[in-house]
Each structure stands twice: as C-alpha cells, then as structure tokens.
Amino acid sequence: MNRWIALWQLQARALVRDTGVLITFFGGLMLYALVYPLPYLHQVAGAQPVLLIDQDNSGTSRELVRALQASPGIQFVATNTSLSDAQQAVLAGQSKGLVMIPAGFETRLRRGGSATVVAAADGHYFLSYGTIAEQVARASLSLGGQVQLARRMMAGADPASSRQGGVTLNMVPASNLKMGYLDYILPGLFVLILHQIMLICVGVTVIRVQRRPGSWQRMPVAAGLSVMASLLIPPFVLASLLYLGPLLAGYEVALQGSLFSLLSLLLPFWLATFLLGVVLGSLFRHRDSYAQLLVLISMPLLFTAGFVWPVESMPTVWTLLWGIVPSQAMMQGMIQLTKLGGEDVLALQWTLWGQVLAWGLLAVLLWRRRQEKVPSDSALPEAS
Amino acid sequence: MIPWLRRDPWQGFILLLAPLLVVGGLYTIFASRTPVELPVAWWDQDHSALSRQLGRQLQASPAIRLHSVTSLAEGKAMLANGTAYALIQVPVGASETLFRREPLVLDLRYNGQYLLLARRLSAPLQQALASGLSQQATLSLNLAGVPAAAQPAQLAPVQVQLTALNNQNLDYAAFLVPPLALAVWQILVLLSVLNFYQRPPPGVCPRRALPLLLAWQWGWAGIGLWLLSPLLMLPIGTPLWPLWFGLLPVMGAVTTAALLLRRSGREAEQLVSVGAALLTPAMTYMGVTMPEGDMPMAAQWWGQVIPSTHYLPLLQSYRGVGEANWLALWPLMMLLPLLVWLWRRSA
C-alpha cells in the first residue's frame, strides 16, 4: 500500500507539472464548450434572403407576398428582377432562394382553375432550402384554403360546413420541440468532446510515464493502472457533470430521463474511455502524434454516431465502431436519456461494460509489455 | 525521403495516407447519397381499405420503411429508443369519419432530435399521405358531380413548384463531403507543418524544405479536387484549376498559423491542441450547416479567423455558376508578408 501511495504521489506531482495535459484539459474543455455551440446559439435558421419576381401584380399575388413576408423564414431582399438574373444570383450564392408568381396567377384562380407558385432554393445549404420550401408551402396552402372557402361560399355552401370531410395532419415533433440545432447537436457533441479530451489526456500521460523507466515498472499492473485511473478519471467525472449538467442547461437544452440511468451509462463510459486511452497511449511513441490521431478521428466519430446520419444508410463497417469506441454508445445513450425520454439503455450499458472488459484486458497486456520492454534503470531520473 | 518517413511513420501517414483515408472514410458514410428506408412506426387502429391504402402509399416511398405497431406504448418506445424516426396513427373509425364527411385528424409524431432525418422524412410522409387521401377526395368530388378535368384545381387551387438550384438531387454527399474535405485538408496541412519542424528530415534545413512540403500538400489538394469532382457538380466545361489555385491563400494562412504556433516555443502536443482548437470547428463556422447570416455576430467574427470560412463561399459560387470573386480571399493574402517573415526566421 505504501508503494502504491508513493507512486500515486509521484505521478500526481508529475501530472500537475504536465502543461500539455493541463492545457488540453482546462483549455480544451473551456474553449470547446464555447466555440462549438456558438454558431448555433440562435437554434433555427431565421429569415433567408429571397428574391421576388411578381409577374402577376394582382391583389391575390400581393396577398401571397404579404403572407410570405409575414413568415419568419423569408425576407425579400429584391423584387422585380428578371428570372434569369434571380436564378444566377441563387446559383452564385448571393441569395438563398427565389419566389416567382407567374402572370395570370389570379386569373387562373378566379376561373376556378389552379395556379402555380414557383420557388427555388440553394441546394448547397439544406437548412436554408428547407426553411424556404416550408414557408412557401405554408403560405400557398393558406392561400389555397382561402380560395377553396371562397369557391364553396360562392357555390352557396354554408361557411360553417366548409370543413366537411377535411383531413388535418397533426404533424408535431415528439422530441426537440423547437427543432433547434443546439438541442439536436449538443448532447452528442458534448459527449464526444469529453471522450476525445479524456483520450488525449490519458494517452499523453501514459506515453510520458511509459517512455521513461521508473517505479511504475516495479509495481503490479493492477496497481499501476489503478494509480493512473485514480488520477485521471476524477477530473473527467467533474467535467462530465459540468458539461452534461449546468452547461447543457445553460444552453437551454431541455433534459429528460433519470439521472440514475445517465450515471449507469457514464460509469462504464469513463472506465472504457480511460482504458482505451491507456491502450492507444501504449502504442504511440510521440505525444503530439497521438494527439493528432484523435484530432483526425473526431469527424468520422461524430458522423457515425447515428444522429447526424442514419445508421440504416451507413456501411456496416462503420457500425462496428459502436461496439469498439465508447463515445458511440454513450452518445446514443445520452440522446435517448436526455432528449427522447427513453430508459431502455440496457443494451448500451452492456456494450460499454463489454468495452471495459475488452479494453481492460488489452490495457493490462500492453502495460505489462511496456514494463518489460522499457529498460529498467533506477539510475535514470523519474518521468516528469 | 523514405528513411525520414520510416523514422517518423506518423508524418508518413499524414503525408501519404491520411488524406485518402479520412476523406474517403467520410465519403463512405454518405455514399448512399440520400437516406432511404428510414424506419417509421405505423399504428393502424382503423384496419380499413383506406388505412391500408395509406400504408401502401407510405411503403412505396423510398425514404420510408413501415414497422407496424399494435399499441401506442410500442410506438412510443420505438421513438424513445431511436429505432423509429416517426410514428403515424390512423385512429379507429378514420375511414368512417371521412365517409360521413366529418373532420379527421391524423396524428404524426417525429423525432425532432434527429433533425436532418426529421426534415428528410417530413416531405415524403406528407406527400405519401396526401397522395393516399387525394384518391378519397377525388372519389368524393366524383360523387358531387365535379368533372374529372376540374378536380385537381378543386383539391389544390394553389400549387407549388419547388426546385433545388445547385445540388439538384439534394444529395447529402455533395452537400457535406466537399466542405468536410476542405476542413480535413487544412488540418492536415497544419499538422504536417508542425511535424516537419518537430522532427525534420535528417540533414535538411526545414526552412528550405518547407516549400516542398507545401507543394506536396497542394498536390494533394489538386488530387482531392479531381477525385471529388463528381460531387462538386461544376457547370459543364468549367475547369478545376481556379479552385486549386484558390486553395493557395488558404494553405498560406494555415502555414502562417502553424509557424506562429511553432514560434510560441510550446511543447509539440500543446501546439497540436491549440491548432486543433482553431481548426477542428471549421465545419461549423463555414456556414454550411447553419447559414452564416443566422449565426451570432461573435461566431461570424470567429469564423473569419478560420481560413476555410473565406474559401467556402467562393467554392459554392464556383460550383453554381463557374466563377467566383477570388479577390475576396484578400484577408488571407494579407498574411503573406507575415508568412514570409516567419518562414525566413524559422530554423
């Protein structure tokens, strides 16, 4: 026990002097908590710049224009441009879309026929495209409803019975009620940030410890790993509680699900991530190379987590990551618990505990191998 | 060069394999281009010809795969577990209600937490249901004696013709992979320059060899543009080389950042951490996912610090009309004197 405490004290002193780890932990956690959510603070896309071509110039076309102007997603930035100029402006990205009301729009409606509104939006920006499409469809539907009502009344129908036989599609979100971008991305993203920073901190510490001979070689593997775990896991327990608690609440990301279920996932997540960090750190010689690996895999991990892109449309090989990398199961669990209100996370818990076992065995093997491989020379100074 | 890369296999990986592996890997995620067969829970309490017709219409949509559920609890659980992206309920007596010409409400709940998928599903769900119901409405109009030619105008007096300009198929790979590749490339440029000064080739002055390294990375940019050209969807006859040359100021700015970091004298992994903090959020600041105009002012300013933010609008414009205002890269070009100064002083 005394040897364990001595090693702990030695490693603790080395850790607080390790500016690389400290900068990554404090700087990374603080900066990423601000930098990633910042672009999405407004949650939804607001008024998109749209060009209007009103070739009809009638009362009905102006009514449609007023309905479009009143919608939150469209702002007409120019009117009466030619169709080809407007098209060119959208293609060049100077405007996000165009709405054209063709000549004869009102006449067709008055004659009892149907009229078409032409809308086009920039397909390079899905959020803008979706916003413009939705607003034009709504305004047109509203105008269409008025036309139908007017026609029925002119045919002598009672206004009270004009809803006869109508079908209303009550289409509402069951989660993320405001359809906000922060609510959508932040629970998963915060888990990924914690995962990556924990992997970097654990891995670079393991590289620092293992590249020099010292008392870590003379200790049993379990003792060495437990010293590292006791030093490196607690800061991330605190960081997780901060990130997934007050910080998410600070960004007004509404949480559901029980704290107990969340903790039942977080516990194996911390252990599995720590052990994966030990395994990866044992395979690298340079701390900067290792940190670079984690920078490069961040994007694939985010896009294969299942909430940006559906698992059903992903090649099977990517879904294997779900069984290997702790962040993937944890991101899904976090989304289920915090946003969807689901409590059935048993499969995810088993996945994470399985990873604890698998990465744990591999960590023990590699730690032992490094103990034997690094020349034991007590004359050399201790790692610092 | 080979002995150097054998001595520093990580730099070998960054220079030789990483661009293909990371960008290629990201492409494979979106290789299906558009999500298809998204699971939707279908709770049919009516069991009528009408509800079966609606079910068939939904099933016929390539975006939708129906999963029948027998209770609200089952459907709710599927939504909560993320195994279904939407739940549709056809209530008891739906068909009867319609035949009596009484108002009918169809409940549709979708998982807003999967934002892009919810948006992707929204249109096909509405179209499939509208198509199924319009058959009933047509029947009703027939009974009312409305001539067949006049029926479409009665059902939907105002129609919308919606067209996507640029990326006409709303292809996710074309939407996301080019900006992602740009983000990955600028990170690789930064990392390779940092590695180059950290562990330079033996017997070579890093200052003199840096242009060769940058030429190599620029070469990768050209290969990347060529490989991604099917996704770029340039207008016919538009050459790729302006896009390639446009990447030079981006590379210059990233190299300036790398040399500035190096000049700080910090340890290598600290430089990587700071460089990563600057460049890894690049994708979020490019304005692809959230339009730049809808970002808070602070985000728009921070975005200006990231070189790719300056390049992306030009790339999109070039993809749309085959031309771009390359002079808009002037903020990056302003860094050239600083780059030369840092380069001359680098050991």
pLDDT digits (tens, 9 = 90+) for A40-52: 999 888 899 999 9
Helices (H), chain B: 2-7, 9-12, 18, 24-29, 49-60, 72-81, 94-99, 115-143, 151-155, 172-198, 206-232, 241-263, 268-279, 282-285, 297-305, 307-321, 330-333, 336-345
User: CATH no. for residue A149?
Assistant: 3.40.1710.10
Residue of chain A with shortest Cα separation from B9? A289
Residues A100 and A221 in one domain: no
B320 touches A: beta carbon within 8 Å = yes
Banded model confidence at residue A380, pLDDT cuts 50, 70, 90: very low
The tens digit of pLDDT for each residue in A156-201 reads: 777 666 555 578 888 888 888 888 888 888 999 999 999 999 999 9
Instruction: State whether residue A149 is helix, strand or coil.
Output: helix
A31 touches B: beta carbon within 8 Å = yes
Using a CB-CB cut-off of 8 Å, the residues of chain A touching B34 are 313
- Mean per-residue pLDDT, A364-378: 80
Residues A151 and A203 in one domain: no
A33 touches B: beta carbon within 8 Å = no
Residue A231, in any domain of the structure: yes
For the complex shown, is ipTM > 0.90? no
Residues A128 and A270 in one domain: no
pLDDT exceeds 50 at position A91: yes
Check residue A321 and give its pLDDT. 86
Residues A299 and A201 in one domain: yes
Nearest to A123 among B104, B168, B280 (CB): B168
pLDDT exceeds 90 at position B157: no
The tens digit of pLDDT for each residue in B273-316 reads: 899 889 999 999 999 988 888 999 999 999 999 999 999 999 99
Residues A235 and A355 in one domain: yes
Check residue A342 and give its pLDDT. 62
Residues A190 and A265 in one domain: yes
pLDDT exceeds 80 at position A21: yes
Check residue A384 and give its pLDDT. 37
B residues 71..130 contacting A (CB < 8 A): 77, 79-82, 85, 87, 98, 101-119, 122-123, 125-126, 129
Using a CB-CB cut-off of 8 Å, the residues of chain A touching B159 are 114-117, 140
Residues A309 and A204 in one domain: yes
The tens digit of pLDDT for each residue in A215-266 reads: 777 888 898 999 999 999 999 999 999 998 899 889 988 767 778 888 999 9
Residue A14, in any domain of the structure: yes
Give strand pairing partners of A121.
Answer: A97, B164
Residue A169, in any domain of the structure: no
pLDDT exceeds 70 at position A6: yes
Helix axes A2-16, A221-242, angle to 10 degrees: 50
Residues A238 and A291 in one domain: yes
Question: Which among A106, A129, A162 is the end of a domain?
Answer: A162
Residue A170, in any domain of the structure: no
Residue A330, in any domain of the structure: yes
Range of the domain at A31: 2-40+179-373
Residues A327 and A202 in one domain: yes
> Using CA atoms, how far apart are residues B22 and B7, in angstroms rounded to an integer?
23
Distances (CA, A) of B216 to B15, B40, B168, B255: 8, 48, 34, 13
Residue of chain A with shortest Cα separation from B115? A184
Residue A310, in any domain of the structure: yes
Residues A26 and A148 in one domain: no
DSSP B104: E
Question: Which among A133, A162, A191 is the end of a domain?
Answer: A162
Mean pLDDT score of chain A: 88
Residue of chain B with shortest Cα separation from A178? B112
Residues A191 and A131 in one domain: no
Check residue B77 and give its pLDDT. 87
Residue A173, in any domain of the structure: no
**What pTM did the predictor assign?**
0.90
Banded model confidence at residue A365, pLDDT cuts 50, 70, 90: very high
Residues A353 and A300 in one domain: yes
pLDDT exceeds 80 at position A376: no
- Mean per-residue pLDDT, B70-86: 89
> Using CA atoms, how far apart are residues A332 and A337, in angstroms rounded to an integer?
9
Using a CB-CB cut-off of 8 Å, the residues of chain B touching A295 are 187, 191, 272, 276, 280
The tally of domains found in chain A comes to 2
Question: Which among A137, A162, A187 is the end of a domain?
Answer: A162
Element (H, E) at A274: helix A259-283
Residue A155, in any domain of the structure: yes
* Beta strands A115-122; A97-101: pairing state: antiparallel
> Using CA atoms, how far apart are residues A54 and A104, in angstroms rounded to an integer?
11
